[in-house]
Structure 1
Amino acid sequence: MLPRRRIFRPAPSPRAWRGPLLLLGLAAGTATLIGLGGPTQLFGNSPREQDWAAGPAEVRVVDGETLRLADRIVRLRGLDAPARGQACRDSAGREFDCGAGSAEALSRLLGGRGVACRVRGRDRFGRGLGQCSTLAGTDAAGMELNGALVSAGWALAEDEGLAGMEGAARAAGRGLWAAGARAPEGWAGRH
């Protein structure tokens, strides 16, 4: 006699599903626990304050108020420097590129040293807004760049704390105010 052939398989026993369901439950539970202990600043939120720093080889002057620190860009908080190509006039009426002068002044203040910045917020272009200082080196102590640039006369104060420095620079004829120079056209109504 020939054995009977079965066309249909018997239904799996309920125990066969326990293994995969148990593994799926363990994976979901583990993911939940990891998620609870994970970072709280996801999806574009950032901490209110960050410390950014770069060594001398990683610091580049973008313009009179902006630095590139390796792969990050920071704008000096509380001041407004002229853009490159922005024309100022000296007391004789001759035009000069006060934006380039401001960038050169910032470069001189850096003096080939590294920079440390306390970044709080971002500007309308997404740059970090920072209070920056040069790192102390063997030849010089650290210098606060925001105030030094305003004090040297190469930027206008947007912050009340820097207003006195701007007034002193104007009175002494430093930077943009040297030899009776006037502010760039775009600033005429502000200051």
Structure 2
Amino acid sequence: MRIRRIFRPSPAARLRLPLAAATGIGLSGLLLSTAVPRDLFTPSRTLPVISASAGDIRVLDGETLRLGAQVLRLHALQVPERGRATCRDAAGQSMDCGAAAAEALAALVAGRDVTCRVRGEDRDGRALGTCEAAGVEVNASLVAAGWALADAGAAPALGAIEAAAREGARGLWAASVPAPEASRRGL
């Protein structure tokens, strides 16, 4: 006589628990991969750096430098284009604001090595960054001298530097026609 087991699990029933566990782990992994940003567990990226010696630097306009073969626009600045705005110097003579801003930038980098931290690209594909020449931040120095306006997305500190330049009537704030606030949208 043969003994029959009544409560013997079927082969399919033995696979249910491992199959359910594997499915749960797979769904959890899928959920985490879509809900968690990809760079959360990776080390923070350092910003790329472009360096150039004094002889390899060219000023293209009041906010753009050529560092060797790389063209970089200064981040968070607005500078009038050459021929678009007229300023007056201390003697009351009219001059081109854009050309004066380019001269101020040239004076900041003249004879100095420049190091720039790239923050991205502008709409024309040029590198966008913050530069230092001999330990002096070029972006903030142009704003402090009054030859550049702080961009709308700039750090609050840059806005405070612009306000000080405005109060001191430096650069564009001396006597420009039209006023820098009026041309901010068109720069």
Q: Mark the CA change 1:53 to 1:145 in structure 2 (over 3 Å): closer, same or farther.
A: same
| 1:187 aligned partner | 183
Render the CA deviation track for 1:46-67: whole Å, top value 9, x for unaligned.
Answer: x873100000010000000000
In structure 2, relative to structure 1, the CA distance for the partners of 1:167 and 1:185 (3 Å cut) is closer
Question: Per-residue displacement from partner, 1:26-78 (whole Å, max 9, x unpaired)?
Answer: xxxxxxxxxxxxxxxxxxxxx87310000001000000000000000111001
Distance 2:55 2:119 in 1: 24
**1:116 equivalent in alignment to 2:111:** no
1:109 deviation in Å?
A: 1.1
CA distance in 2, matches of 1:184, 1:125: 24
Segments of structure 2 that go 5 or more residues without pairing to the other structure are 1-44
2:66 is matched with 68
Q: Which residue of 2 aligns with 1:157?
A: 150
Number of residue-to-residue matches in the alignment: 138
Question: Which residue of structure 2 aligns with residue 172 of structure 1?
Answer: 168
CA distance in 1 between partners of 2:167 and 2:181 (Å)? 20
Give the distance between the partners of 1:184 and 1:164, measured in 2 at CA: 16
**TM-score normalised according to structure 2 size:** 0.66
Supply the AA of the counterpart residue of 1:145: V
Name the CA distance, whole Å, in 2 between partners of 1:126 and 1:53: 19
Q: Which runs of 5+ in 1 are unaligned?
A: 1-46, 137-141
Runs (4+) off by over 6 Å: 91-94
Deviation at 1:111, TM superposition (A): 2.6
- In structure 1, the residue matched to 2:77 is 79
TM-superposed deviation, 1:86: 1.8
Correspondence for 1:58: 56
Question: How much identity, in percent, do the aligned residues show?
Answer: 49
Shift of 1:189: 5.4
Distance, in Å, in 2 between the alignment partners of 1:72 and 1:186 is: 32
Does structure 2 conserve the Cα–Cα contact (< 8 Å) formed by 1:87 and 1:95?
A: no
Change (3 A) 1:153 1:185: closer
> 1:83 and 1:121 mapped to 2: Cα distance?
22
TM-score, normalised to structure 1's length?
0.65
Equivalents in 1 of 2:173, 2:129: separation in Å? Answer: 25
In 2, Cα distance between the equivalents of 1:80 and 1:188? 7
